[in-house]
Amino acid sequence: MEIEVTYRQSETKDGLYAYALHVEARPVPDDSNDSNDADANIFVFRRSTPTMNPHGVTDAVVDDEFFNVATPVDMYDIPAKEPDVEHGMPYFRDSRVELWFRNFEDVLRAKREMSEDIASLVRLWDNINDEATFKYGETRTYGTPSE
């Protein structure tokens, strides 16, 4: 798996303590004829239950809360782009996330931790998809031999 990640962060203005970190993942462009089929939807979100306000402007409004950088299991289990609420899956994955912070140190910490998690995801994804790297194996026989 090859993922290219762009981090962009805002500056504070007018003495306000508000910072934004925008992160976007994309498959690495491949120069060969083979296309890179890496799934860049690596950010996991949870969609809230829609609000109940039948006569108001907030009726059926949902919030999408960032949860984590996906694990290899998340990449299989959690759908991309939209949750599958009808089947009990309020989580979904996307290729972009925007986070807001009150101080610059938190922006730097979040960026560092996300970078570490993305590197871990890529390493683990490659490990579980390459049987040559498997370290443990065993063969068992069950039942009784036929006569």
pLDDT (tens digit per residue) in 114-136: 999 999 999 999 888 888 888 88
So what's the pLDDT on residue 57? 67
Query: Which one, of 32, 34, 44, 36, lies nearest residue 72 by Cα?
Result: 44
**Given pLDDT bands bounded at 50, 70 and 90, which one contains residue 36?**
low
Top-confidence residue, 97 or 55: 97
With a cut of 80, say whether residue 60 has pLDDT above it: no
Which neighbouring-strand residues pair with 84? Answer: 89
Query: Which one, of 68, 82, 2, lies nearest residue 34 by Cα?
Result: 2
CA gap 103, 75 in Å, rounded: 31
